[in-house]
Amino acid sequence: MITDILLDEVKRKSCVCLGLDTRPGYIPSFIGDQDLSTGEKIFEFNRRIVDATCDLVGCYKVQIACYEALGLDGMKAYADTLKYIRSKGSIVIADVKRGDISSTAEQYALGHFTGDFEADMITVNAYMGEDAVSPYYPFLEKNKGLFVLVKTSNKSGVDFQDLGMTEDGEPLYVKMARKVAEWGRPFTGQSGFSAIGAVTGLTYPGEFETIKEVMPHTFLLIPGYGAQGGTGRDIASFFRDGVCGVVNSSRGLITAHKGKTDGEDYTDYVRQAVLDMKQDIEQWL
Amino acid sequence: MITDILLDEVKRKSCVCLGLDTRPGYIPSFIGDQDLSTGEKIFEFNRRIVDATCDLVGCYKVQIACYEALGLDGMKAYADTLKYIRSKGSIVIADVKRGDISSTAEQYALGHFTGDFEADMITVNAYMGEDAVSPYYPFLEKNKGLFVLVKTSNKSGVDFQDLGMTEDGEPLYVKMARKVAEWGRPFTGQSGFSAIGAVTGLTYPGEFETIKEVMPHTFLLIPGYGAQGGTGRDIASFFRDGVCGVVNSSRGLITAHKGKTDGEDYTDYVRQAVLDMKQDIEQWL
């Protein structure tokens, strides 16, 4: 299962998941001034970051929205970025948060697990229930994986996710967690973790205990570190019985050079930011 | 507001929303045999359908998953299809079901309301709460619109959407409906309908009464007609106080020629299927 491979990477390198949510404003002028399309510049920016960090990070996450925003040129940069990360032997999570009925989810599975946009794992939104998840099952046996949204780190995540359910008073996100654990059970790898993981934000650390209890075999994608307020100490507390997830940081890492350099050494700043994040978490483990 | 324009189109033409969820297997061989890429064939297939139906349908819906499945070539077909529909003066709904936190949703808004992938309206998943919707607000004043997933027509939609909430026993989809109505209020057009609409499946008609009561000013995108089991009579009953939505059919329309012709006259079958659907609904109004 992909989670076995990912956990191996995490143990060898770190639990840092570097988010390539790249925007044109992040690009140093030595790339920006080249005679390239915006998408080509973004790919060049990403490529150099991957070269400078692939020995350090457990995986990469690419936020497709930043690429869709640039139309076809952006989608080319997206495809090139995924391909480059995979060519380095690193794992890439496509943060696409797709969610649709079976026949449509089948198309998304083809789109994101094969061809130009092939990723190792993708994020999925299961508001539509298991139909939105089951079409990916056949790919899980082929070293592909999912992270289903359970508890998100944004402010209005509580609008629905925290509403309590009649039967037993459990909030929606716990119901979601139970379902994700159940769906994932048949796809448990040798590491004890399922190929169906969960996105669980860092903003509300108290809720982590419940999540860990409900889904002990679910690997976690944890957003919210750095720019969104989570600390290394928070994470270490979730990992006290062993590492059970990867921790994403995007802006906090890929804009580390802003205001400091506009040259080729921008990747030194990004690399240092990864090292700092790694240490910030590992010092508490 | 876009809903005023859409309602006008519906009144002039019909409430039929033709879904271009095009797959390679639908394409007649006179197109399939041409020396074109798969994406180019799909666009050619779509273009002829648009020419044959744009005087009849209230709007089009394009399911992006079918295009993402084909990678960059598919995304070009997607962009070309949206552009062509809009060039004919018709309204196009991009069925993208995006849903993410504010900074990411801003990127999706740029991606789907400007540039290569510009659509008139998009579908949105609000599991992450208002953050997943509010970044689109600035575009609503510029004749753009949303359809937020409320009650979906797939079997496992009930996994979460039908769970009852502690406070008052209302199921999740009613909570979602209340929020969508509230978010949409400031964007109500002259027709009385908001630019923030809702996706409400046809599979469970009994629930429609509740939805109409909770969100009387919300324009509806109704999937589930035909292939998914809904009938014209069901729809007419929702529209008894006036048309309050568009009714999507995809496979039922764009595969009407299958097994009947493999030639240029495939669009005659599609057009006839649209006329039949229109009549099937209108006979009860």
d(CA B237, CA B131): 34
Half-sphere exposure of A115 (CA within 13 A, CB side): 18
- On the question of pLDDT at A31 being above 80, the answer is yes
Given this model, what pLDDT does residue B104 score? 95
Given this model, what pLDDT does residue B77 score? 98
Given this model, what pLDDT does residue B227 score? 65
Find residue A63's DSSP bridge partners: A95
- On the question of pLDDT at A144 being above 80, the answer is yes
Q: What is the DSSP letter of B231?
A: -
Residue pair B6/B47 in contact by the 8 Å Cβ criterion = no
pLDDT band at B228 (very low <50, low <70, confident <90, very high): low
- On the question of pLDDT at B166 being above 80, the answer is no
Q: What is this model's ipTM?
A: 0.96
Tens digit of pLDDT for each residue in B199-225?
998 766 678 888 999 999 999 999 988
Chain mean pLDDT for chain A: 94
Closest partner residue to A65 among B104, B153, B176, by Cβ?
Answer: B104
Find residue A2's DSSP bridge partners: none
B250 in contact with A, Cβ within 8 Å: no
pLDDT band at A237 (very low <50, low <70, confident <90, very high): confident
- On the question of pLDDT at A227 being above 80, the answer is no
Closest partner residue to B156 among A125, A129, A166, by Cβ?
Answer: A129
Contact residues on chain B for A26, CB-CB shorter than 8 A: none
Tens digit of pLDDT for each residue in B40-78?
999 999 999 999 999 999 999 999 999 999 999 999 999
Q: Is B278 a catalytic residue?
A: no
pLDDT band at A187 (very low <50, low <70, confident <90, very high): very high
d(CA A175, CA B165): 12
Contact residues on chain A for B229, CB-CB shorter than 8 A: none
| Record: contact A165-B163, CB cut-off 8 A | yes
- Min distance A128 CA to chain B CA atoms (Å): 5
Given this model, what pLDDT does residue B163 score? 87
d(CA B236, CA B208): 12
Give me the mean pLDDT over the B20-26 stretch. 97
B283 in contact with A, Cβ within 8 Å: no
Q: Quick one: closest CA in A to B77, which residue? A: A72
- On the question of pLDDT at B167 being above 70, the answer is no
Which residue in A172, A169, A111 sits closest to A136, CA to CA?
A111
d(CA A122, CA A98): 8
CATH code, domain carrying A263: 3.20.20.70
Give me the mean pLDDT over the B19-47 stretch. 98
Chain mean pLDDT for chain B: 94
Beta strands A92-98 and A59-63 are: parallel
Tens digit of pLDDT for each residue in B244-280?
999 999 999 999 999 999 999 999 999 999 999 999 9
pLDDT band at B231 (very low <50, low <70, confident <90, very high): confident
- Domain range for A206: 2-282
Give the CA radius of gyration of chain B. Answer: 18
Given this model, what pLDDT does residue A240 score? 85
A229 in contact with B, Cβ within 8 Å: no
Which residue in A202, A192, A195 sits closest to A180, CA to CA?
A195
Contact residues on chain B for A73, CB-CB shorter than 8 A: 116
Given this model, what pLDDT does residue B155 score? 87
A262 in contact with B, Cβ within 8 Å: no
pTM: 0.97
d(CA B250, CA B18): 6
What one-letter code names the amino acid at A257?
H
B182 in contact with A, Cβ within 8 Å: no
**Which tokens belong to A20?**
């390539």
Number of domains in chain B: 1
- On the question of pLDDT at A214 being above 70, the answer is yes
Tens digit of pLDDT for each residue in A58-95?
999 999 999 999 999 999 999 999 999 999 999 999 99
Who contacts B244 (Cβ-Cβ below 8 Å, separation ≥6)? Answer: B193, B212, B218, B219, B220, B238
Residue pair A223/A199 in contact by the 8 Å Cβ criterion = yes
Q: What are phi and psi of B75, to 5 degrees?
A: -65, -30
d(CA A103, CA A100): 8
Closest partner residue to A100 among B97, B105, B169, by Cβ?
Answer: B97
Residue pair B129/B95 in contact by the 8 Å Cβ criterion = no
Given this model, what pLDDT does residue A206 score? 75
